[in-house]
Structure 1
Amino acid sequence: MREILGCIGAAVDATQRIPASTPPAMVHNITTLLSSTDLVLTVMVNSIDATPLRKPGMQAILAQLAAHPQVNLVCSADTPDFPLLWDVGVRSAFNFGLYFTVILREVLVAMEEEGSAAGQESAGVEYRMVYNKAVEEFICTSEMAFRTLLKEFHDHQIITSRKDVIGTELLSVPFAREELEAMLEDLMA
């Protein structure tokens, strides 16, 4: 992160060297330097929801930078529910304007073919996102209580849990759509 902030500082004013101290101090120096100019800085981040960038410290630094009126943060995200990763304070500092882009059907078909050729399992929902939603809805108050609830679902084979290639725990329902619809009909009857 220090290297990135150093690069951003050099983009603001190449004659001023931003001291390589702590990242929050570097962001403060960058925003102070930026305030003394008329320059508008555009920072582009590919995959802001990537695992290395999910650390609260990293997000706070990016949000602090994005909150400056002379900084435009343009970023991409790989998951459609990425705004749920942050609390209200960080989300408002980012001041996201969301634009959903269309992915070409040919690309999706190619990805599906690659996935089935590799024998990948179906996608799941991130454990952390389900946990945060459970806390938000007052279903549980701690991670330990949430794990206890999940154990019941695991024991009855209602959910499955696996880790993806980067180690993120994913939860999924091991039923086909038709089976889920049949269960719903049984419950509604």
Structure 2
Amino acid sequence: MMRQQLLSDYTCIVVNGFFPSLTLKSVSLLIFKFFLGQENFSGKRLANWLVGWFASNPDVFILLNNIDGTCLRNEKIQNTFSLLCTIKGIHIIATIDHINAPLLWDHNKMSQLNWVWFDCTTFETYSMETSYENSILVQQSGVLVLSSLTHVMKSLTPNARGIFILISKYQLEAKSEHGYQGIAFPDLYLKCREAFLVNSEPTLRTQLVEFKDHKLIKTKKGLDGVECIVIAVEDNTLATFVEQQDQQ
């Protein structure tokens, strides 16, 4: 409503922070794709585009619903938002839901964001936000599963984390194939040997038992009778998890 009434003459980018699968990469691609018209870009090309854009276009407004959303409460994403605010011509209009949301920003971020605060309480229900949350719970994905995965990873050894991430990346790349049943144990062992994560099959099997105990994986026999390993997590959540692990 505000966008239609007050910002109809300006360029607006809308980011819904309550989406459970939202990541820094997806937010960055949304903004960069808007400016460059494509997802393949370089920092220099983006900078040149920004200079040219603001030389001949009106200011750009980023409308950020729920900047304190669960998936946005990390240092890198909030740093990105604060840095965007330092670019002349880019403005962020954001909403918060949690009373302690300002704790996300230290003194430096607050000075960059330079918020002007308004109490715009609507007393409307959270029907849209909770509709995404409920669907995620039913599908065993989203914030809760992501939080559980992250917590379990902290209790594993570096090699164990490497094995699980290897399985995750393989599944994300291969699951688009028709009839994907999981990564076959012999293939997994070969990949783990090449990555220096295990030195014998018993070592790998011991690690898979630990994954099973944590309910991270499921195993089943493939059509050819070979044991296959699959991670029973929705693809978007698994992709978000892998991205977060790569950033650490």
Instruction: Give the TM-score normalised by the residue count of structure 2.
Output: 0.35
Instruction: Give the TM-score normalised by the residue count of structure 1.
Output: 0.44
| Greater RCO, 1 or 2 (C-alpha within 8 Å, sep 6+) | 2
